[in-house]
Homo-oligomer: A and B are copies of this chain.
């Protein structure tokens, strides 16, 4: 398969390296910065580098476009590429608005093309292990998802801290849990003159009694990447900063027994063994790359794990969160 990579900044080189490693051909690297193109040329002499996006998009030999540009360019380039008959993989978040995401999905569906956002975390062995634990029924019914992603920096110029860090949580959650959120509440604060929040909190509400929450900050003295996931039978602590013991499964729980008289209840706690499964040593980007190629080759039969509808949900959730943020937490419905 012949691919064109758009954007050779932070993430682009990873895409080139991983797609090359699984035997695909990178025909073009496109960037608006000639010095980045020079780097690409030096590392991969056989690649054609160009400042002109249209050359790659209009080349009939190119099967798919990989977009690693800032989020504000995603929609335009993806739309052009889809309309030119190319499959598209686009960095997360997929677009700036839910309407844009919906439009891209519509085009891709009509054209029978693969459109895939790159939620790389879904391909990590930790998240896959948690998915397997939940799907096996071992966890019981899910009760909550509670995430903390904080560190010092990196402030971004055009999106707030939720757009930077919460896509991980929203995509992982969508992958793990079938039910979709019906509304969100978000609060946060900007500590600079611009109006871009650098610390924020997001609650996702569901029709069932499941609840999800994400804390995100660029102004924490320590880096934390911890998610608590509670089920009626077992609970998980997922600490992504642990070098090997990322997923700890607690055989702990509680049971609520209503007591007849007075309509009271009694809660029985259970604290049992802890189990830390060994995780596969796999590179998540390679898994993502393979999934994209597999989806293309299957002619759409195979739906990638990081699927376009999941990508759209991430964008719509963040869009709603922004609205709630401006109203200091008012619930905003998702449709």
A121 within 8 A of B: no
Residues of A307-325 whose CB lies within 8 A of B: 324
State the Cβ distance, A125 to closest chain B Cβ, in Å: 13
A205: B residues at CB distance < 8 A: 187, 328
Task: Please state if B228 and A209 are interface contacts (CB–CB under 8 Å).
Answer: no
Q: How far is the CA of A213 from the CA of B327 in the complex (A)?
A: 16
Chain A interface size range: 35 or more
Which A residues from 197 to 236 make CB contacts under 8 A with B?
Answer: 199, 201, 203, 205, 209-211, 213, 215, 217, 219-222, 228, 230, 235-236
A259 to chain B, nearest CB (A): 11
Q: Which residues of B have CB within 8 Å of A267?
A: 153-155, 192
Majority DSSP secondary structure for residues of A touching B: strand
Whether a CB of chain B sits under 8 angstroms from the CB of A98 is: no
Segment with Cβ contacts to B, from A61-69, A79-87, A103-111, A275-283: A275-283
Are B221 and A209 neighbours in the complex by a CB distance under 8 Å? no
Instruction: Name the interface residues of A231-284: CB closer than 8 Å to any CB of B.
Output: 235-237, 244-245, 250-252, 254, 256, 258, 264-265, 267, 269, 271-278
A269 touches B152 (CB 8 A): yes
By a CB distance below 8 angstroms, the chain B residues around A250 are 221-222
Residues in A37-82 with C-beta less than 8 Å from chain B:
none
CA distance A4 to B152 in the complex (A): 43
Query: Could you tell me the distance in whole angstroms from the C-beta of A36 to the nearest C-beta in chain B?
Result: 20
Q: Which of A148, A187, A209, A220 has the most CB of B within 10 A?
A: A187
Q: Contact: A221 with B252, CB < 8 Å?
A: yes
| A134 close to B (CB within 8 Å) | no
In the assembled complex, A91 has its CB within 8 A of some CB on chain B: no
- Tell me whether A211 and B187 are in contact (CB under 8 A): yes
Whole-angstrom CA separation of A251 from B258 in the bound complex: 41
Q: Are B252 and A237 in contact (CB under 8 A)?
A: no
What residues of chain B lie closer than 8 Å to A183, measured between beta carbons?
328
A96 CB within 8 Å of chain B:
no
Judge whether B201 and A222 touch: CB under 8 Å.
Answer: no
Contact assessment for B155 and A254 in the assembled complex, using a CB-CB cutoff below 8 Å: yes
Q: Chain A 175-186, CB within 8 Å of chain B: the 1/0 string?
A: 000000001010
Is A131 an interface position by the 8 A CB rule? Answer: no
Is A174 close to B, CB under 8 A?
no
Cα A278 to Cα B275 with chains together (Å)? 10
In the assembly, what is the distance between CA of A209 and CA of B228, in Å? 29
Q: Nearest Cβ in chain B — how far from A71, in angstroms?
A: 17
Kindly provide the distance from the CB of A161 to the nearest chain B CB, expressed in whole angstroms: 12
Supposing A152-B254, A203-B201, A237-B221 touch, asked if A190 and B215 sit within 8 A by C-beta, the answer is no
Do A199 and B269 touch across chains, with their CB atoms under 8 A apart? no
Q: Does any Cβ of B come within 8 Å of A329's Cβ?
A: yes
Cα A219 to Cα B267 with chains together (Å): 11
Is A211 within 8 A of B194, CB to CB?
A: no
Tell me if B219 and A143 are in contact (CB < 8 A). Answer: yes
- Whether the pair B265, A271 counts as a contact (CB closer than 8 A) is no
Q: Does B275 contact A276, Cβ atoms closer than 8 Å? A: yes
